[in-house]
Amino acid sequence: MSWSLKVSPGLDQLQFNRWRKLLEQRTGIDLGEQLRSLLQVQINRRMSALGCASYDEYYDLIQAGVGGRLEQTLLIENLVVKETRFYRHRPSYDFVGAQFKEFLQRSQTTGERNCFDVWSLGCASGEEAYSLAICLEQQLAEFAPAVAAADNYSIVATDISHRAIQRARAGAYPLARLAPLDEQQRQRYFDPQGDGTMRVKPALARKICFSQANIIEINKQPSMAMDLVFTQNMLVYFRKPQRLRILDFIAQRLNIGGHLVLGLGEVTQWHNRQMQLLDVDGAQVYRRS
């Protein structure tokens, strides 16, 4: 008998809770009730591909050794679909640009050649990280050639999805995805491709190091102290206790005076003695003291 949807009806509450618990243990991600239908669709899709006849059979398979880990990765890839676009929330990027400008002014005054280190956390398919790089490059353009030519910044960009990181490294996007950018930005930072896409120019791409990582695996995160951590709507995937643990971890990764830029309303009731919520118009920003 061939596999069909009739063999595997909808996830009942017990099955959903079991899958929810397993995936949270493995990834830290909490699949709320609103994602139940998405989970069911994606599990059924993988069961169809593998010829599994029941949810129990697939559940046992996903826990079995290396092959199970690989299958788990494929399932997660289809569950963590993060909406993203270039310059998704401009007030946040305006704040980043202003901070980098102050950094460059201090460097110019003191003569020190420091590097402004940025972490794009939950970067998805790269639009966020490239937007940060464009934002910083535009600030550099206002300074003398000697300042602009130096290695004044670096960006580390991470995401749980292998597929998203591959797309980010490729740096090729349909022209429609570049709509939030003006014509000058598109011409300056992208090259048109024969297939109708636009690819990030190598000079900009070299400024960003993309890496697959799950934020709950602390030992796999960037070890260097950051001047700025930028994440937009990534924390909503986690339960509040896990969310607060992640925030406390990020605080430890910031230099004194460094900033954490979040999506508006993404975090409430977070109290960390090292972090101060700033009054920034249109953006949610914390500063490490």
What pLDDT does 149 receive?
56
Asked if residue 199 belongs to a domain, the reply is: yes
106 and 148 share one domain: yes
Mapped onto helix, strand or coil, the DSSP state of residue 106 is helix
DSSP state letters, 23-90? HHHHH-----GGGHHHHHHHHHHHHHHHT--SHHHHHHHHTSHHHHHHHHHHHHHHH------TTSSH
CB-based contacts of 77: which residues, under 8 Å, 6+ apart? 161, 162, 163
Lowest mean pLDDT among 156-165, 185-194, 213-222, 265-274: 213-222
Q: What is the pLDDT of residues 127-137, one digit of tens each?
A: 999 999 999 99
139 and 46 fall within a common domain? no
- 84, part of any domain: no
Residues 95 and 142 in one domain: yes
Domain boundary among 54, 79, 104: 79
Of 58, 79, 100, the domain-final residue = 79
Write down the residue that tokens 């996903």 correspond to: 62
Q: What is the DSSP letter of 129?
A: H
Say whether both 129 and 205 belong to one domain. Answer: yes
- Global confidence as pTM: 0.81
The CATH number for 135's domain is: 3.40.50.150
117 & 64 share domain = no
Mean pLDDT of the chain: 85
Residue 115 domain boundaries: 90-288
| Count of domains forming the chain | 2
The residues, any chain, with a CB within 8 Å of residue 76's CB and separated by 6 or more, are 23, 26, 27, 29, 160, 161
pLDDT tens, residue by residue, 270-289: 899 999 999 898 899 999 99
Using pLDDT thresholds of 50, 70 and 90, give the confidence band for residue 7.
very low
* Residue 173 near residue 189, CB atoms below 8 Å: no
Q: Is residue 150 domain-shared with residue 252, that is, in the same domain?
A: yes
Average pLDDT of the residues in 103-126: 87
pLDDT tens for 56-80 read 888 888 887 777 777 877 777 777 6
116 and 230 share a domain?
Answer: yes
Give pLDDT, residue 110.
77
Say whether pLDDT at 178 is over 70: yes
Same-domain check for residues 271 and 229: yes
Contact 285, 95 (CB under 8 A): yes
Q: What is the pLDDT of residue 1?
A: 34
Looking at the structure, tell me whether residues 69 and 109 fall in a common domain. no
Structure tokens at 187: 């011409």
The rounded distance, in Å, linking the Cα atoms of 164 and 236 is 18
